Amino acid sequence: MDTALDKPLELGEPETLHGISGSPGIVVGKVVVFSPLAEGFIRYRLEEGAASKEEQRFLAAVAQAEQSLISLRQQFEGDLADTVAIVDSHIRMVRDRMIVEQSLNLIRQKQINAEWALDLSLRLIKKKFDHIADDYIRSRFADVEYVAQLVAEQLTGQGRSFPAGFAEPVIVVGEDFSPEDTIRMHTDKVLGFLTEKGGATSHTAIVARSLGLPAVVGVADITQLCRTGDTVILDGYNGRVCLHPTMDQQQLHLEYDRQHRAFSDEMSWYIHLASETVDGLRMRLSANIEIPDELESVIYYGANGIGLFRSEFGYFQRRQLPSEEDLFTVYRDMVAALSPQPVTIRTLDVGGDKLAAHLPNSGLHFARERNPALGLRSIRFSLREQDLFITQLRALLRASGHGRLRILLPLISSLNELRQTRAVIDKVMEQLTQEGIPFNAETEIGIMIEVPSAVVMADTLAAEVDFFSIGTNDLIQYALAIDRGNEYVASMYDPLHPAVLRMISQTIEAGHRQGIEVSLCGEMAGDVFTAPVLLGLGLDELSMRPSAIPHVKRLLRHSTFGRLTALAKQLLGCGDSSETKALLKQYLADNYPDQFADNERA
């Protein structure tokens, strides 16, 4: 049962794509892909005297677009208030004077055709909206764009064609779907939505939530990556998509969904309770996130801060590098929103197989990688491309005064590497001081413990940092020499290998001897099967995907620290993972019979 409850994660890496959770739920189904509309239209200057005719043509298109919206609105039944409200605001916008009057003026004054004038109007509106600081209002520009698109389609005569109905239920894939699009496709045959664009407030997300259908939005290039007819698993809880899943994975996901629905009512109880054991030992349960939009769910699920913010998003979402100001704004907003709880931001973890063409010297670096996992990646990349690193450090330090920001350095493998990095940080601090820019000089700086050498040297490293964060995903891979992406050996990737448990335990001891906090942020932390072990090993913080927090908290609140430590001690004495698993299974069945009695794992 636990497997289904909390393990939709063990999917073949190459097939799993990450996006943003737009609406909860899991479905498995075939996809229908709507390719983005071709851009581009004809621009031409008008013959003399033709302007008034062109104005009429434009007004007729506006009227037709308006009429199509109104008739959709009338067809629309059901109590989908949010969706209807969006259609209503589109009806208003299509006649808005910023679109209509402005375009008419442009047609007349510049003697240009209606399509061109409409496009210019849209650009002028965009300019105004771009200055808006409020994300929600700024993102409404998408509505303006949509409405203008409707008018443009009437002008050019190429309407957006959606099939009137699907023969079997499908998952629809596209750039973004407007409410009108979704009404046209007859949602009783739609299983879920998967889009390239958008965040939690995108159209698709709003519509999907009001329909109660799962959605994953913001998956880069998804319209290129899958083809109509492909089967995918759409995991709206975690914002993940699995292309070409195996039958086992499909079963697992559907079971997970069933469990999730049953548990979610009970889980919501735990969101507001303290994360502590029956005997009062507290542990921070915090969130792992990849994009700032997830902040909402961090707060919703009652996380005690952010234990791992993977800062790569800012570097991969656009084709150009983010500026110091871009990064600063994101970090500051996040830190301020969660203050006084800690926000741990990991510095750039790129390189190896994660390279984007616009990163400095990427072609050069990529060509040299024969073994990406062991190559120029992560902190090594940052130390080599120092300008990039310094920009990020400046943004981080500038944000440090707005709450409790912790800087986390990834892949540290030696004391020398740590000292080199600290020297760069010191240099940046000096720069900021000279420039008179405020920052918190006491900003906590910690390292990821994810390379075996760092575990062995943890006592030495602990003396020079403020905290440790154990990254089990990489640590297991490096310690057991297993590539999870390789199907022949993936089954040997084993978080409960006694060697892994001992490494975690050693790291905690070394950290605590130096009086620093030790947290853990791998997938293990959010798995209710492995979490009890971690709780018993004495970590100060477990960081996991936000939706797992209530589950782990429930477990924690039904445990006593004494029993958890006894379990951990027993497991550390095991010689093999078959023993650790058997012991753990027994422990869970004995202590949480309601949850684990029919446990089929291990």
Partner 1 sequence: MSKIIWESLIALPRGVHCRVAAKMIEIVATHDAEVQLAAEGGTADCSSMLEILSLALTQGSSVRCTATGPNAPQVAQAIDQLLSAKEEL
Place of tokens 């005997």: 279
Which residue is catalytic, options 226, 242, 521, 574? 521
- CA angle, residues 23, 24, 25, in degrees to nearest 5: 130
- Select which of 203, 253, 260, 497 is catalytic: 203
Which backbone phi and psi does 78 adopt, to 5 degrees?
105, 170
Contact 4/595 with Cβ under 8 angstroms?
A: no
Binding mask 11-50 for partner 1 (x = CB under 8 A): ----------------------------------------
Size of the site for partner 1 (CB under 8 A): 23
Strand, coil or helix: 517: strand
Would you call 521 a catalytic residue per the annotation? Answer: yes
Query: Is 88 near partner 1 (CB under 8 A)?
Result: yes
Interface of this chain with partner 1, residues 57 to 86, rule: CB under 8 A: 85-86
Alpha carbons 236 and 242: distance in angstroms, whole number: 11
Q: Which amino acid is at 559?
A: S
Distance in Å, CB of 101 to partner 1, minimum: 9
CB of residue 96 to partner 1, shortest distance in Å: 5
Show contacts of 114-118: CB within 8 Å, 24+ apart: 114/54, 114/55, 114/57, 114/58, 114/61, 114/155, 115/41, 115/42, 115/43, 115/152, 115/155, 115/156, 116/41, 116/43, 116/44, 117/58, 118/58, 118/148, 118/151, 118/152, 118/155
Q: 209: burial class by Cβ within 10 Å (0-12, 13-18, 19+)?
A: buried
**92, 186, 261, 427: which one contacts partner 1 (CB under 8 A)?**
92
Q: Does 89 bind partner 1 (CB under 8 A)?
A: yes
Q: Residue 475 CB, nearest distance to partner 1 (Å)?
A: 43
Q: How far is the CB of 148 from partner 1 (least distance, A)?
A: 11
Q: List the one residue from 11, 51, 93, 555 that touches partner 1 (CB under 8 A).
A: 93
Query: Binding mask 173-192 vs partner 1 (x if CB under 8 A, - otherwise)?
Result: --------------------
Helix (H) or strand (E) holding 241: strand 240-243
* DSSP conformation class of 26: E
Residues forming the annotated binding site for phosphoenolpyruvate? 310, 346, 473-474, 484
Q: Give the annotated binding-site residues.
A: 310, 346, 450, 473-474, 484
We find the least distance from the C-beta atom of residue 277 to partner 1, in angstroms, to be 37
**Mask 107-146, x = binds partner 1 (CB under 8 A)?**
------------------x--xx-xxxx-xxx-x--xx--
| Active-site annotation holds for 90 | no
Nearer to partner 1, 41 or 129 (CB): 129
Q: Do residues 216 and 19 lie in contact, with contact meaning Cβ atoms separated by under 8 Å?
A: yes
C-alpha pair distances (Å), 216 with each of 196, 227, 242, 590:
9, 17, 11, 38
* Residues with a known catalytic role: 203, 521
Chain residues that interact with partner 1, rule: CB under 8 A: 85-86, 88-89, 92-93, 96-99, 125, 128-129, 131-134, 136-138, 140, 143-144
